[in-house]
Amino acid sequence: MNADHLLEGLRTGLVSFLGLPLALEPRPVPGVVLGAPYDGGVLNRAGARLGPWALRQATMGLGRMPMPQRLQGGEEHQEPLGVAAVDWVDGGNIPTRPFHMTEALDAVEGLTSAWIATGARTLMLGGDHLLTLGALRAHARTHGPLGLLHLDAHPDAGRGELWGTDHHHGTWLRDALEEGLVDPKRTVQVGLRAPRFESDELAFLADRGVRMWTPGDLLDPRLASQLLGDLARVGQGPAYVSVDLDVLDPVHAPAVAEPVPGGLSVREAIAILRPIHRWERPWVGADVMELAPTLPGADESARAGAHLALHLLG
């Protein structure tokens, strides 16, 4: 951790993500954090366009070495201590404009691609979940079909036609599967529990071999090794991790576009994320989406999102 960055933050009054140095032009770095200030894909409660500011703010003064989940109980419980985002930069926000859905997708894909070309991994701060499609397009073009760990209350494999549109924040996974951006056999969804609009959404996913876990499934000790197997398989190749903050129970993260009761605690979500650090190669891209800081509970929701992002990184 570079103390200069902390002091620079104090001096400038500007808050970058985790105090990382700002770098608006792509350059060779291990990774970049990119804000995506767009929420034109949201069906109901808008506000995620302001998510990047709130997530950056929530990292002010945060250390970059996550605490291991356990310090007691023997060596098998002790994880290696990592430092998050070493030599990463904050690349600022992706230049999306508020009223252009396809342009926003193209902007995400374009700038993400430019950073990938320098060898960088990417962490996107949403913004609504539609934008994940742009990032997946960029990563799949370089890395081929991606494994996907998807934390969400919703399956996001809906059809836009119901709402008179091609895309919205609940369609991106259907698009990604149909475009061949993700490998369905290495795609795992965790936290699904929202009532659905379309009866065939789960069948669409199951038919392709996507593994789906509800919060109830996570509580079943008989399924624990199956879950670990699923999480490990995502990382048997280039992989992307997408976190919809609504995977958390609204008690922990109320300021999201589509809150759904009965969700994960922050601690449960962290437990799902920790195994990604045992993958043979680190994920190539990740995101934390759907924080809408215009809604009540913005502060604690942003803080929860920032901590999940930290556990993604280190």
Instruction: Give me the least distance between CB of 246 and Mn ion, in Å please.
Output: 4
Task: Give whichever of 89 and 153 is closer to Mn ion, judged by the CB atom.
Answer: 153
Q: Choose one: 100-108, 210-218, 226-234, 243-251; the region binding Mn ion (CB under 5 A).
A: 243-251
Going by C-alpha positions, the residue among 203, 143, 210, 197 that lies closest to residue 170 is: 197
Strands 285-289 and 239-244: parallel
Angle at 143 (CA atoms; ends 181, 24), nearest 5 degrees:
100
With contacts defined by CB under 5 A, how many residues of the chain interact with Mn ion?
Answer: 5
Q: How many CB atoms neighbour CB 79 within 10 A?
A: 14
Instruction: Give me the least distance between CB of 67 and Mn ion, in Å please.
Output: 27
Instruction: Give me the least distance between CB of 180 and Mn ion, in Å please.
Output: 23
> 3-state class of 264 per DSSP?
strand
* Torsion from C-alpha of 235, 183, 89, 33, nearest 10 degrees: -120
Instruction: Give me the least distance between CB of 66 and Mn ion, in Å please.
Output: 24
Q: How far, in Å, CA of 174 to CA of 136, rounded?
A: 12
> What is the helix (H) or strand (E) element at residue 289, kind and residue range?
strand 285-289
**287 lies in the binding site for Mn ion (CB under 5 A):** no
Task: Give whichever of 111 and 302 is closer to Mn ion, judged by the CB atom.
Answer: 302
Tokens of 298: 């913005």
The DSSP letter of residue 284 is: S
Tokens of 62: 């945060």
Task: Give whichever of 29 and 257 is closer to Mn ion, judged by the CB atom.
Answer: 257
Q: Write the binding mask 245 to 274 for Mn ion: x where contact by CB under 5 A, - elsewhere.
A: -x----------------------------
Instruction: Give me the least distance between CB of 195 and Mn ion, in Å please.
Output: 12
Instruction: Give me the least distance between CB of 152 and Mn ion, in Å please.
Output: 4
Instruction: Give me the least distance between CB of 258 and Mn ion, in Å please.
Output: 5
> What is the helix (H) or strand (E) element at residue 54, kind and residue range?
helix 51-58
Return the biggest CA–CA distance within the chain.
56
Task: Give whichever of 90 and 246 is closer to Mn ion, judged by the CB atom.
Answer: 246
- Of residues 159-178, which lie at the interface with Mn ion (CB under 5 A)? none
Q: Write the binding mask 119 to 158 for Mn ion: x where contact by CB under 5 A, - elsewhere.
A: ---------------------------------xxx----
Task: Give whichever of 39 and 152 is closer to Mn ion, judged by the CB atom.
Answer: 152
- Of residues 101-120, which lie at the interface with Mn ion (CB under 5 A)? none
Going by C-alpha positions, the residue among 205, 38, 55, 207 that lies closest to residue 133 is: 38
Q: How far, in Å, CA of 249 to CA of 238, rounded?
A: 29
The answer to whether the beta carbons of residues 234 and 284 sit under 8 Å apart is no
Instruction: Give me the least distance between CB of 159 and Mn ion, in Å please.
Output: 16
Q: Choose one: 43-51, 66-74, 159-167, 237-245; the region binding Mn ion (CB under 5 A).
A: 237-245
Q: Residue numbers of the site for Mn ion (CB under 5 A)? A: 152-154, 244, 246
